[in-house]
Amino acid sequence: MSLAVVRSRALAGMEAPEVSVEVHLANGLPAFAIVGLPETEVKEARDRVRAAIVNGGYEMPAQRITVNLAPADLPKESGRFDLPIALGILAASGQIPTTPLRDYEFAGELSLSGELRPIRGALAMTFAMQRDPRSAGRCFILPRANADEAALVQGAAIYPATSLTEVCAHFAQHGQAALARHVSAPAPAIPGYPDFADVKGQSLIKRALEVAAAGAHNVLLVGPPGTGKSMLANRFAGLLPAMTDEEALESAAVQSLAGRFNAGQWKLRPFRAPHHTASGAALVGGGSVPHPGEISLAHCGVLFLDELPEFDRRVLEVLREPLESGRVTISRARRQADFPARFQLIAAMNGCPCGYHGHPSGRCKCPPDTILRYQARISGPLLDRMDLLLAVLPLTSEELHADADGEPSPDIAARVALAFAAQHARQGTSNQRLGTREIDRHCKLDKEGQAVLRDSMVKFNWSARAYHRVLRVARTIADLAQSKAIRCEHVKEAIQYRRALLDL
């Protein structure tokens, strides 16, 4: 037979549309053409496939070979099409049977010796195959190094292989010899997070971070150097509720798209801390072939931005929309990609250029206008999107010399989990993601609380967004207290968590 069709998958953001690899052999001078909008990596498959077929002991047809990757208007990139192209050539030339191929999908990059190398996006491809009704009942053959991540999709029939020869032997012997269905390894134990008990003092900040963890609120820590801002942020992920299977699968799929999946990180909330020299594209993602950025790699986890004013202002402004929507859309001339970006932002900054504004020693000599210009590097709209603005003050000598016997993270996390469960039972989402109508329904205040919040809004000149964020935080504080109603003391505590730049 001079025509063979093999199924594979492309990547378009988080989606993995089906690709038909059509191989046709025709008489004429030997030639090898790949059509269907291939990128450079796909075009280079001609040499890899030719060498892999010959070194695997098969014959490369001395004919005119045309490979069509359909649909033709979908860009194709990376070396994942090497394996299906090689199998299509062998099937079209009659060296392996054609009929069994219809029950499989394939992906894998070939080395010149015919070995299969790992690819990125295997989890997203498997997930798409399981959801696509046209792929019902199909199995997936891919490199052995990708088997564990692909097997995270429940019900997926994964057949890992190490070489082109193994895959061909599987079909030559009707699937009885070479390949066996992959059995998922037991989930590895989740490594422990750094413990909050290691942090001396800072009881008020620890309480505020407990509130932030319970309601998925964004936090800005402001204070002099050496007060423990980074230490607190590095331990914050240990307070968050356990990931659901859906969250873990989404987070792992993003990691897989970036080629950074690690089975040992399964159900471990990601913690990303990019340097302040990072570009806007590094944060939100980009490239001619859109790749996820730091905010997507932090999906369902924590994004920590230390030395916040040192980031380029234009870089920080790109965070504003994802903080509201939980998604980011990267548009290019030829394609568009959507990535999830539902992360919790923890940021840290000093109060002035020298860093010691607000220090009890009075070491700061920065003029007031210099301090204001430094703090103005963080735009008002971005500050509006921070739920808690906390002043982290230096420890006293007594606190510094005391033993670190603070409350351990698991004890705090247990209270957070109860509050988080109460939110989902009441409204189906975290308090931070409540819309305007949900706030009116679930964040009602008594007359005393309304008066306190109204006076604070006028005194501090808060926007409507800041007003709603205070209400959300107050609702979380009430949940931690296991209170159905938001009382006046909950409102007062929430108001105190937006005074960081005033308290220094």
pLDDT per residue, tens digit, the chain (504 aa), is: 589 999 999 998 888 999 999 999 999 889 999 999 999 999 999 999 999 999 999 999 999 999 999 999 888 988 999 999 999 999 999 999 998 899 999 999 999 999 999 999 999 999 899 888 888 889 999 999 999 889 888 889 999 999 999 999 998 865 455 788 988 765 655 667 888 888 888 889 999 999 999 999 999 999 999 888 999 999 999 999 989 888 988 999 999 888 888 877 788 899 999 999 999 999 998 877 788 999 999 999 999 999 999 999 999 999 999 999 999 988 877 778 889 999 999 999 998 999 888 888 888 889 999 999 999 899 988 998 999 999 998 887 777 777 666 788 999 999 999 999 999 999 999 999 999 899 999 999 989 999 999 999 888 888 888 899 999 999 999 999 999 999 999 999 999 998 766 554
CB atoms within 10 A of CB 502: 9
Cross-strand bridge partners of residue 390: 221
Q: HSE-up of 140 (CA within 13 Å, CB side)?
A: 32
Sign of CA dihedral 376, 382, 384, 385: negative
CA angle 233, 236, 237 (to 5 degrees): 125
State pTM to two decimals. Answer: 0.88
Domains and CATH numbers, the chain: 3-172 (3.30.230.10), 196-503 (3.40.50.300)
Residue type, 483: S
Alpha helices in 216-362 (DSSP H): 229-236, 245-257, 280-284, 294-297, 313-317, 320-325
